[in-house]
Homo-oligomer: A and B are copies of this chain.
Amino acid sequence: MSVSDSAPLSESSSTLPTEGRRRVQVDAVAPEVDGGRFPVRREVGERLVVEASVFADGHDRVAAVLLHRPTGHRSWTETLMEPLGNDRWRADFSLDGLGRMEYTVLGWVDAFRTWAADLAQWIGAGVDVSLQLEEGARLVEAAVDRAEGDDAAQLEGWVERLRAWSTEPGLADDPSPLATDAGPLSGTLPSLMARYPDRSLSSRYDRILEVAVDRERARFSAWYEFFPRSTAGEAGGHGTFRDAQRMLPYIREMGFDVVYLPPIHPVGRVRRKGPNNRVDSAPGDPGSPWAIGAAEGGHTAIHPELGSLRDFLEFREEAETQGLEVALDVAFQCAPDHPWVKAHPEWFRHRPDGSIRHAENPPKKYEDIFPLDFESEDWPGLWKALHGVFTFWMDQGVRIFRVDNPHTKALPFWEWVIEELKEKDPGVILLSEAFTRPAMMYRLAKLGFTQSYTYFAWRNTRRELVEYMEELTTTEVREYFRPNFWPNTPDILTEALQVGGRPAFMARLVLAATLSSNYGIYGPAFELMEHRPREPGSEEYLDSEKYQFRQWELDRADSLHPFIARVNRIRRENPALQRNDTLHFHPLDNEKLLAWSKQDREGENRMVMVVNLDPHHTQSGWLELDHLVLGMDPEESYQVHDLLAGGRYLWEPGRNFVQLDPRISPAHIFRVTRRLRTEGDFEYY
């Protein structure tokens, strides 16, 4: 049936509404972001669960359907909503394709169910229901016109039966025979009538909401960032894509699925930075890859020393063969010798002396970088050029971009360009590298970024981690913001990693990888536990790869490579860790220990993590697991299996003891299963 003629619920106006009999109210539809201004975000294969308050005046029963359709389609698909009590209704629909879908809620007074419920009461009270039976006959008679095929005939039969009962003298004295299986309340009539409701006076929620559906990797991904130019090995000098290709098995073995490369474009020569961000460079210094553009080209060119476009494509193909997707860095800024500076001076801000204004944050100056001017008169030209950068690389098969500092570019541009890119490939993924204030970080996600960097790197204590995770997973933020947790980046060597040694690297990895379904590391610095800052108090790496080549001893005996591989394998094998929406923290009587659980959508895969936040001392305590959260019987004992260290424990209802020596393992990653009945039930990992 068509519902397009359903007017909004009610109208404020000094004249009568066109139709005043739409008695049902639809209120508080969830999820909804900013009153429907932005879509909620989900992934293919998930179901969108929608709730609404649906009610009418009086004691009449109401019914409701969830309406949904791909955005742009005219006709709605309907899913009947189930009552949850207290006027709240719920339904869901599956997100089978990429792109956007619309949804809203429609409700109406269900005259037949109201009649049936009343009739049951009257029969129970033993009163004469002959008039009620005739009223029922009329309701069914009206439904005959709406019914199709055989149903119409069946309904006609019911009309006759109801009329016959209504005049049957014996029933007037004792209506109880009507309550039997053959009666109007429990036979085929209710289901028949449910198929043909009278929805002429239905009310629709006054807004149409949207869900943006991304591919699964938007929710579940493990990123590995490295500098291809540092892969020359013992030969030294500038590594190439061919050298970098040799890294791929090493990365694959660790279990990552996204390989993210810092900018691969020609590096500016003008005012090039030297090692450790020195103002001037010596011949042979490679400069910062984020100083993009030189005579050889700009954002769509390949740095000649890395190789050719063909070399890049080979690298990308080889990565894909190994199950790794390549993500490129998009940094919209230019070195002074970027071709755009000459070709499009109007895209930059000029100073009174005619020079182009370089980046600055007074009193700091960044002379090797020219920012783009989003207030340029030719902003349309600039937008199209930037759009062209994305599409160029998409045409080379790249579908994931890490966007550098999006919060320093005009936000209307992002909303426009992301929409455009999704038109081209709805599977495109953009990671927002904004480390700034919350309103901006969240707004970028609302405007379309698929994933976002976070404050995780600076959340170390239990209270900090719990508060932050609850903000991300229990507030409206969860509907649109997908966190991607990085324990380190080329810009961020946290104090925790500088001083905490191996246990800190292990703990921070487990936290990132199991608190958040999206995470990443900057390697090989991470697995080789690089921890020397440029100077005390700095978060910059000493001898940072941002400004020089590094040679990494990948096969070092103490490398975290096997540990990371194990964590990533646990993530892949346990769907509970592939989502954040079931995250729950559990009480533990030692502030240095953090305990939380996650489970998959079906509640079949249940994981409990415990991390020792103190890298220096063994910590122990009593964990009170909330069985109900995990959908388990609170009276039953159960088996927990530490997939990280290998131990198995039988846990009793109530409190259980945990202890973690950081020198051995700073974390447990438990899979929780029902108590084994015999030794044969043991599951082996």
Task: Give chain A's interface residues, CB within 8 Å of chain B.
Answer: 9-14, 16-17, 20-23, 25, 27-28, 32, 34-37, 53, 55-59, 86-88, 117-118, 121-122, 124-125, 127, 131, 134-135, 138, 201, 206-207, 351-353, 360-363, 371, 374-375, 379-380, 383, 407-413, 415-416, 419-420, 423, 437-440, 443, 447
Q: Please, which residues of chain B bring their CB within 8 A of the CB of A127?
A: 363
Task: Find out whether the CB atom of B13 lies under 8 angstroms from the CB atom of A419.
Answer: yes
Task: Find out whether the CB atom of A87 lies under 8 angstroms from the CB atom of B437.
Answer: yes
Other-chain contact of A13, B11, B22, B138, B416 (Cβ < 8 Å)? B416
| Residue of A125, A360, A416 ringed by the most chain B CB atoms within 10 A | A416
Interface pairs (19), CB distance under 8 Å: A10-B416, A11-B415, A12-B416, A12-B419, A13-B419, A14-B420, A20-B410, A23-B375, A25-B440, A27-B34, A55-B439, A55-B443, A57-B408, A86-B438, A86-B439, A118-B360, A127-B363, A131-B351, A131-B353
Other-chain contact of A21, B9, B379, B447 (Cβ < 8 Å)? B379
Q: Please, which residues of chain B bring their CB within 8 A of the CB of A35?
A: 32, 34-37, 207
Q: Please, which residues of chain B bring their CB within 8 A of the CB of A9?
A: 412
| Residue of A10, A201, A438 ringed by the most chain B CB atoms within 10 A | A10
A79 to B124, alpha carbons, bound, how many Å? 65
Q: Please, which residues of chain B bring their CB within 8 A of the CB of A201?
A: 375
Task: Find out whether the CB atom of A27 lies under 8 angstroms from the CB atom of B380.
Answer: no
Nearest first, the 8 A-B pairs at minimum CB distance are A35-B35, A121-B362, A125-B363, A10-B412, A134-B352, A53-B439, A87-B439, A10-B415
Q: Please, which residues of chain B bring their CB within 8 A of the CB of A36?
A: 35
A55 to B201, alpha carbons, bound, how many Å? 45
Q: How far is the CB of A106 from chain B (nearest CB, A)?
A: 16
Task: Find out whether the CB atom of A23 lies under 8 angstroms from the CB atom of B55.
Answer: no
Q: Please, which residues of chain B bring their CB within 8 A of the CB of A415?
A: 10-12
Q: How far is the CB of A592 from chain B (nearest CB, A)?
A: 28
- The answer to whether residues A412 and B131 also contact, given A35-B34, A363-B121 and a CB cut-off of 8 A, is no
- The answer to whether residues A20 and B439 also contact, given A35-B36, A362-B121, A409-B57 and a CB cut-off of 8 A, is no
Task: Find out whether the CB atom of A363 lies under 8 angstroms from the CB atom of B53.
Answer: no
Q: How far is the CB of A167 from chain B (nearest CB, A)?
A: 11
- The answer to whether residues A412 and B17 also contact, given A34-B27, A121-B362, A363-B124 and a CB cut-off of 8 A, is yes
- The answer to whether residues A21 and B410 also contact, given A14-B420, A416-B16 and a CB cut-off of 8 A, is yes
A379 to B438, alpha carbons, bound, how many Å? 51
Chain B's closest residue to A413 (CB) is B20
Chain B's closest residue to A363 (CB) is B125
Task: Find out whether the CB atom of A440 lies under 8 angstroms from the CB atom of B55.
Answer: yes
List 15 other contacts, CB 8 Å, given A17-B416, A56-B411: A11-B415, A23-B410, A23-B411, A25-B439, A37-B206, A53-B439, A57-B374, A57-B407, A57-B408, A58-B408, A121-B362, A125-B362, A125-B363, A135-B352, A138-B352
A509 to B11, alpha carbons, bound, how many Å? 39
Chain B's closest residue to A121 (CB) is B362
- The answer to whether residues A374 and B420 also contact, given A34-B27, A59-B361, A352-B131 and a CB cut-off of 8 A, is no
Q: Please, which residues of chain B bring their CB within 8 A of the CB of A380?
A: 16, 20
Q: Please, which residues of chain B bring their CB within 8 A of the CB of A27?
A: 34, 439, 443
